[in-house]
Structure formats: structure tokens, C-alpha cells
Amino acid sequence: MKFADRLDNFGAEIFAALNEKKIACEAKGQKIYNFSVGTPDFPVPDHIKNALIEAAQDPVNWKYSLRDMPEMLQAVCDYFVKRYGVEGITQDMVMSCYGTQEGCGHLCLALLNKGDTVLLPDPCYPVFQAGAFLAEADPYYYPLIAENNFLPDVKSIPEDVAKKAKVMIVSLPANPVGSVAREGIYDEIITWAKANDVIIIHDNAYSDIIYDGNIGQSFLKYDGALDVGAEFFSLSKSYDVTGARISFLVGRKDIVAAVKKLRSQIDFGMFIPIQKAAIAALTGPTDSVKEQNKEYQRRRDALCGGARKIGWNIPNAKGSMFVWAPVPEGHGNSMEFCMELLEKTGVLCTPGSSFGPSGEGYVRMALVATVPVIEEALKAIESSGIINRK
């Protein structure tokens, strides 16, 4: 039996090959330094865990929730005022998602028809591509290049593409490239979107992981944003609740209503104890978020600065929990370098080719290890001689 053709868009060959290599290295007794997956290694704050545990003790909370609790929706509205200074968000402009990954898939299915054009950053988080493929839309990749600090440039999008595009996905701070918004960029995107009748969807997963004194913002803070789009807002990285899959779509009412209508046909609502945990995160203290960001910057400095000392010229990431590292000269493509690095040093990272056409020539490294472990991994790389080999 032949299954759906759309499955052909979701090959796992790269990750399967890396995992097989990892298993083989471990079998030889080699120590692995895993920088491949962006899963935070920080503890979940106690007030969030306790809220979930307390709610789970009530048998009533194990039934279908059927809806987002008004208390949780209001907590999101209030958080946007407190954290981002965004006024005017009402409960009908908010819905929960089981993580941005699920949310992006549902959003594309709700907004896009077969053959519609969707603009995707390149390199990008692979989920954006997956959403387009699920909707059978046609992706157009707008490049994020080093010469432009890996930022979107709407002026470079051809006029004919802009006129037929229906949705544009923007993500800042950006995974995998680590770029952050410059002054005026959101205003440019909003003006362009209005002129071309394009919906903007902003992925705001990393606004609390941003370096060198910069402050992460919401796209919705800027004039006109609510006229043209919506934003995915996630608790996963800020509060270390990745497994709980707590994310929200926030923005223009008709966009939220469309995605909510589709989702109502797929599930019966978010588990109530998880909604209670979300409320605790949104209304509770943020000290751990700020301290965690400082630790991420220490790790960024250790990895990027330490790599440059041994001859690997890795620029400082400006935001996100990832470092976008160029493949050293003379080491083949990104997959070949990842395989060689793993075999000779035990350092596991992700080939840039996994993140879109422009990702080749880079590898992504996640800041998921402590500074001493990062320093140990860099010593292993230096001792191997791999970086300075031509």
C-alpha cells in the first residue's frame, strides 16, 4: 500500500544518520557532548510545578477541558501588557496551542489553500516548512544572510512574489541563526504587509533569551501589527516547560478564530492542570527567567569566544539559545563536518542543511551545557586538530 505523497516531504535521513553515528561512538566508549537539540537543562520553577500538581489532584480536572480557561486567556492579555507593553489584547485574540510546532501546522491548514504562496525565512526552524507542506502551499524562501545580519529584507522580495503571497512567517530572535530585530525592522515589515495584503505570523519563542543588554520585544507592540497579523508566544524556553507544550497564538481576531475553528475539529482542549501551570507562569515571579538569560549569555561567551581562541571563527549569537557556526574551510558540507566532528571529538551538532536551502555551510549548536562542559568540549575539538586542518 502506498501512503500519502505528502509524507515524502518529511525525510528523517539526516537525523537518523547522526543518531546512528552517535550510538556507534557511544558503543566505543566515547564521551558525547550533545549540542544538537534545543531542550533547556534548567529546572522548572517550583510555583509552576506546584500549580500543575495541585490541579492534577482534583478528579474534575481530568475531564475534557473543551475550551481555554478564561483565567488563562486573561493571564496572557495581562502578561502582554506587563512584559511587552502591548495594550488592547482581549481574550478573543488569544488561543492556546500544544506548542508552536502544532500551532504552526494548524495555522497553515487554516489560512492556506493548495498552491498558495507562503514566505519562509531561509535558514528557518523546520516546522515552518512542515506547516507549508501540510497545507500543500508553495514556499518561497527569503534569504537571511550574514551581510544583512541574518535579518529579513522585505525590499528584496520580488514584486510578483509579494503580490501573490498570502502569509509571511518571521521569527526574531531567530532559530537557528541567532539574529535579533534591529530598530525599525518591524515597521518596515508591517508597511510592506499592508501594501501587499500579506498576513504576518511572528514566532516569538526567544524574546527572553537575548544578549548584550538588548530587550526582546513582541511584534504586536508596533503600530499596525494587529491589522496584519498574529504572533506565536511560547512559555517553553522562558520557563523550561518544553514537554508541557504551552504556547499561544495571539493577534488579529479573524486569524485566531480561523485557527481555533480548525483546532476544534481535532482535539477537546488543553489539559486543565497544564492550563493552571500556564497561569502560574504568566502571573508569577520572573526572577528565574532573568537569571537564566544571564547564564545563557555566559554559555554563549564561552562557546563563541572559546571557539575563536582555537581558530574556529564563530560569531557571537545575539539571541536565542543557539549558535550559528560556519563550517571551517576545507571540511566539506555541513553534514560531512558534523559526522567528522562527532567521530573525532564527540561533539554532536546539527547540520545547517536541515534548516533550508541557505543553511548549507553552517552548523547549529544549542547552548544546553554548562560552561565547564562547553570548555571541555572545546578542548576535545582543539586536541583533535580538526579545526586547523585544511
Q: For the segment 94-143, what is each residue's pLDDT rounded down to a tens digit?
A: 999 999 989 999 999 999 999 999 999 999 998 999 999 999 999 999 99
What is the tally of helices (H) and strands (E) in the chain? Answer: 15, 12
- The mean pLDDT of the chain is 93
CB neighbour burial string for 98-118, b if at least 16 within 10 angstroms, e if fewer: bbbbbbbbbbbbbbbeeebbb
Per-residue pLDDT reduced to its tens digit, 42-58? 999 999 999 999 999 99
Tell me how crowded residue 76 is: count the other CB atoms within 10 A of its CB.
Answer: 22
- Average pLDDT rounded to a whole number, residues 229-247: 95
* Strand (E) or helix (H) holding 259: helix 253-263
Helix, strand, coil distribution of the chain in percent, nearest 5: 50, 15, 35
Q: For residue 137, what are the CA distances in angstroms to 97, 140, 166? A: 22, 10, 10
**CB proximity list for 227: less than 8 A, separation 6 or greater:** 190, 194, 252
Asked if 103 contacts 118 with a C-beta cutoff of 8 angstroms, the reply is no
**Could you tell me if 298 and 372 are in contact, meaning their C-beta atoms sit under 8 angstroms apart?**
no
- The string of pLDDT tens digits covering residues 197-229 is 999 999 999 999 999 999 899 999 999 999 999
Q: How confident is the model over 155-199, as pLDDT tens digits?
A: 999 999 999 999 999 999 999 999 999 999 999 999 999 999 999
The amino acid at residue 134 is L
Q: Is the pTM of this model over 0.85?
A: yes
Which string of DSSP letters, residue by residue, matches 184-211? THHHHHHHHHHHHT-EEEEEES-TTSB-
Of the pLDDT bands very low, low, confident and very high (cuts 50, 70, 90), residue 256 is very high
User: What are residue 250's DSSP bridge partners?
Assistant: 94, 231
Q: Mind listing the domains of the chain with CATH numbers?
A: 5-43+288-384 (3.90.1150.10), 63-283 (3.40.640.10)
Give CA separation, 121 vs 12, 300, 367, in Å. Answer: 21, 23, 22
Q: Answer whether residue 23 shows pLDDT above 90.
A: no
First to last CA, the chain: 49
Burial classification of residue 141, based on how many CB atoms lie within 10 Å of its CB (0-12 exposed, 13-18 middle, 19 or more buried): middle
Burial of 58 (0-12, 13-18, 19+ CB in 10 A): exposed
Given a cut of 90, whether residue 13 has pLDDT beyond it is: no
Q: In the numeric block, which cell numbers belong to residue 132?
A: 507549508
Residue 136: strand, helix, or coil: coil
Percent of the chain whose pLDDT exceeds 70: 99
**Structure confidence by residue, pLDDT tens digits, 307-336:** 999 999 999 999 999 999 999 988 889 999
- Kindly report the number of other CB atoms within 10 A of residue 377's CB atom: 25
- pLDDT band at residue 302 using 50, 70 and 90 as cut-offs: very high
Mean pLDDT of the region 278-307: 96
Q: Measured between alpha carbons, how far is residue 68 from residues 58, 95, 97, 260 in Å?
A: 18, 7, 10, 10
DSSP single-letter state for residue 91 = G
Give the residue carrying C-alpha cell 541563526: 177
What confidence score (pLDDT) does residue 332 get?
84
Q: Measure CA 144 to chain center.
A: 15
Predicted pLDDT of residue 390: 55
Q: Which cell numbers in the block locate residue 53? A: 500538581
- CA 292 from centre of chain: 17
- Asked if residue 208 lies in contact with residue 56, where contact means CB atoms within 8 angstroms, the answer is no
Query: CB-based contacts of 54: which residues, under 8 Å, 6+ apart?
Result: 276
Longest dimension (CA), the chain: 65
